[in-house]
Amino acid sequence: MSKLIVNRLDYARIKKCINDAKQFNSINNVEAAKLLAELNSAKIVEPEAIPSNVVTMNSIVKLSFLNSSKQVEFQIVYPGNANFKEHKISIFSPIATALIGYQIGDHIEWVVPAGLTELRIDEIVYQPEAAGDFNL
């Protein structure tokens, strides 16, 4: 698995979201700590330097569950934009936290109610940086 890569703007915005959410108790401490650990382990780069195969904020990602043939697609968004019916998942959700900064082809272990499962990032359908949308 490659080193996580996060763009500087996403890094700052996510950290601000975490701090705001902590003040309003809208994120639990365990999830906040996991997300901060992911961010702090990442290589931080300018938005223009993000490779097109990296999951960033507002990316639309296609995943496969390796223990089944199930494939899902969703967009990783900031908490205020989350909408399950529109397949927009908050960065505060465990699956989004697990994916941010990883690349196409990476395998990620994720704990679901039934236990540990493994996901593979199959495709990034849309990545803002690759589309030139650096300020979403």
Range of the domain at 53: 5-126
- pLDDT for residue 127: 97
| Amino acid symbol at 69 | S
Q: Does 135 map to a domain?
A: no
Task: Compute the Cα dihedral for 45, 81, 123, 32 and give only its sign.
Answer: positive
Which residues have C-beta within 8 Å of that of residue 108, sequence separation ≥ 6?
98, 99, 102, 118, 119, 120, 121
pLDDT tier for residue 72 given thresholds of 50, 70 and 90: very high
What total number of domains does the chain contain? Answer: 1
Please state, in angstroms and rounded to a whole number, the distance separating the CA atoms of residues 10 and 56. Answer: 7
Mean pLDDT of the chain: 90
Q: CATH number for the domain including 72?
A: 3.10.50.30
Please state, in angstroms and rounded to a whole number, the distance separating the CA atoms of residues 90 and 37. Answer: 17
Which residues have C-beta within 8 Å of that of residue 22, sequence separation ≥ 6?
29, 32
Q: Does 118 map to a domain?
A: yes
Q: Does 53 map to a domain?
A: yes
Please say if the pLDDT value at position 56 is more than 90: yes
- Phi/psi of residue 127, nearest 5 degrees: -130, 120
Nearest to 10 by CA among 49, 37, 39: 39
Contact 121, 63 (CB under 8 A): yes
pLDDT tier for residue 2 given thresholds of 50, 70 and 90: low
Q: Does 42 map to a domain?
A: yes
Residue 100: half-sphere exposure toward Cβ, Cα within 13 Å: 30
Which residues have C-beta within 8 Å of that of residue 36, sequence separation ≥ 6?
15, 18
Q: Does 110 map to a domain?
A: yes
Q: What is the mean pLDDT of residues 67-93?
A: 93
Q: Does 76 map to a domain?
A: yes
Q: What is the mean pLDDT of residues 74-91?
A: 95
Q: Does 70 map to a domain?
A: yes
Q: Does 46 map to a domain?
A: yes
